[in-house]
A and B are shown apart, each in its own frame.
Chain A
Amino acid sequence: MLRQIVTRLAAILPILLILSIFAFLLVHLAPGDVTDALLGPMATEEAKEKLSVAMGLDQPLVVQYARWLSNVVQGDFGVSVHTQALVSDVVLLRFYNTVILAAASLFLALTVGFGVGMFAAARSYSTFDRVSMSTTLIVGSMPPYWLALLLVLAFALEFRWFPATGMTSITGDGGWLDVARHLVLPAIATAAAPAAIITRMVRASMLEVLGQNYVRVARAKGIPKRRILWHHALRNALPPIATIAGLQLGFLLGGALFTEVVFAWPGLGNQLYYSIVARDVPVVQAAILVIALAFVLVNLAVDIMNALLDPRVRTM
């Protein structure tokens, strides 16, 4: 069983390597020189040359990559071109904020997903089932930034129940309650599409399992319906649901970008966007890598969990 974990860990290394190459090269795709972007159109050739050498841009690509990679692995992402702050500090703080948002969203998505999905599966083809499936379809097709704006319009601007932007209020004490208030709308906006997808997955996986022979055998033994649903069926329906939930978490970590922008939530997605626009190379690279790493690790964890859930693996 330990071997399973180790093999999976080893498998993600080439992926991370390729991604690092991608992150590194991405910036070099930009038209014009990095120095052009940084120093503006009025810069002299001389100034650009100096900056080039200082940033090591005159070296062959492979050398640059090697240097960059060795730094990254040691946790040194360099310095933000615009704020001169340590990139690692900035990225870590922003990542933490995104994690808060992602965790709240995931919690919402899972609660709704399981609640509605299980109910729909237990009463398949009923009105509830049909209505909830239609709803998830519509919600899943909504652009997330649009849904975010609708929520802002309705609940922040019209009803004034929740604040429209930010993570904490300027006048507030910045404590947990304050954050929670600010968290509600962004979390709902971010959770909507994943909730829709998880609901459908729960329903589909449960229906698949409920059609299995061993469920019929349990019914023939007179086991009460509730126990069959929550004990017999759910246990076997979990792996595909867990896989999808893991993917959704990855999406939440990165895809929360739109919500973060609309709600001005100081997260990593927000940071990534503005850094892209400002051509702040080190920050962009660091952000992409952090998000990718988080996504890969989450999926790895889900993978391992699924393997552990399977008794065939456990008894090896």
Chain B
Amino acid sequence: MRQVEKAELAAAEALEVEQESRWLRGWRAFARDRAALVSLIFLAIVILLAVFADLVSPHDPFEAERLMRNRPPLTEGYWLGSDSNGRDILTRLFYGGRISLLVGFLPTLLATLISLVLGLVAGYFGGWIDQIIMRVLDAFFAVPLVLMAIAIAGVLQPGVVTEIIAITVVLIPYISRIVRTSTLGVAAEPYIEAARAGGAGRGTILLRYVLPNMISPVIVYATTLVGLMIVVASGLSFLGLGAQPPAADWGTMVSDGRVALTKAPHATIFPGVVIVLVALAFNFIGDGLRDALDPKAGARHHKG
């Protein structure tokens, strides 16, 4: 290894060390964004409530009290009221959160992992691999995301697993594109060339040098996607393609509430409010992450 390349590799390694403190600095920048911080706390609370639904729920989510149907909010024992079957809405929100949050988070995670492979390969190696992968994925941008999810979910047997599969598949083109773009940017950097000249294998380069440096925009994008996918998944559930009774998530709660729309509007309203708040929270967290991980990108962005 020549002196020049040794020096450049050392620089790349120094970059890695710098990255560790970069995460710490990033956290501090994130914490300065009040909306992001509040959203993170809110989300943490929601997750905890869902995970520990057994402990915090005042009722059993499937318990239908025939005498307590369509009770308004602030009825004794039913803080947010009850639905047309006499089930406590607050409890169902906690338990429903388990499914809703899962169906937002898991597909995004899976799709991101798959997209990382696809996008890195396409972006780093280029050539005909890139062309083929991108052509096929491009086709899927021609159909609105929700529609495709519905089509896929509708064809398979309805259920939570179906929801997860459908959303994962549908997300892959979108995340892959971001991964690829980011990879293209990083692959052009001089330290990658130096690593190559230094004899590093392709796998090493991709994993040690390319991946850590291209991942920030992907993380920001994926975070915002989680919120959006919770909304999309709730749509699938609303249409009956997701969680099947008696299991329920926020989407099915809205659908159930339709039956007594005028008599118990709160049964429809509350789940929707929760979805909106959670989606907003992910949105703000995504913004905060963007400012934290790449202040240059955030500099031009202003919130409303």
Contacts and interface: CB of A to CB of B under 8 A. Distances in A.
B133 interface: no
A146 B254 contact: yes
Interface residues of B, number: 43
| Main secondary structure on B side of the interface with A | helix
B304 A291 contact: no
Contacts of B155: 26-27, 29-30, 276, 284
A291 B283 contact: no
A290 B240 CA distance: 24
B21 interface: no
Given A129-B304, A132-B304, A153 B268 contact: yes
Contacts of B276: 138, 141-143
A269 B279 CA distance: 25
B231 interface: yes
B151 A284 contact: yes
Interface stretch (A85-93, A221-229, A249-257): A249-257
A291 B280 contact: no
A100 B95 CA distance: 40
Contact of B235 (A15, A129, A145, A149): A145
Contact of A254 (B138, B143, B238, B272): B143
A19 B143 contact: yes
A149 B261 contact: yes
Interface in A135-152: 136-138, 141-147, 149-150, 152
Nearest to A294: B142
Interface in B215-234: 227, 231, 234
Contacts of B143: 19, 254, 288, 291-292, 295
Interface in B275-290: 275-276, 279-280, 283
Nearest to B271: A146
Given A29-B156, A150-B269, A150-B272, A157 B139 contact: no
Interface of B: 135-136, 138-140, 142-144, 146-147, 150-152, 154-157, 227, 231, 234-235, 238-240, 251, 254, 257-258, 261-262, 265, 268-269, 271-272, 275-276, 279-280, 283, 302-304
16 contacts: A15-B142, A19-B142, A29-B156, A31-B156, A142-B276, A143-B254, A143-B272, A143-B275, A144-B235, A146-B268, A146-B275, A153-B268, A255-B144, A284-B155, A292-B142, A295-B142
**8 closest pairs, A vs B, by CB?**
A133-B304, A276-B154, A18-B139, A146-B272, A254-B144, A254-B147, A141-B279, A15-B139
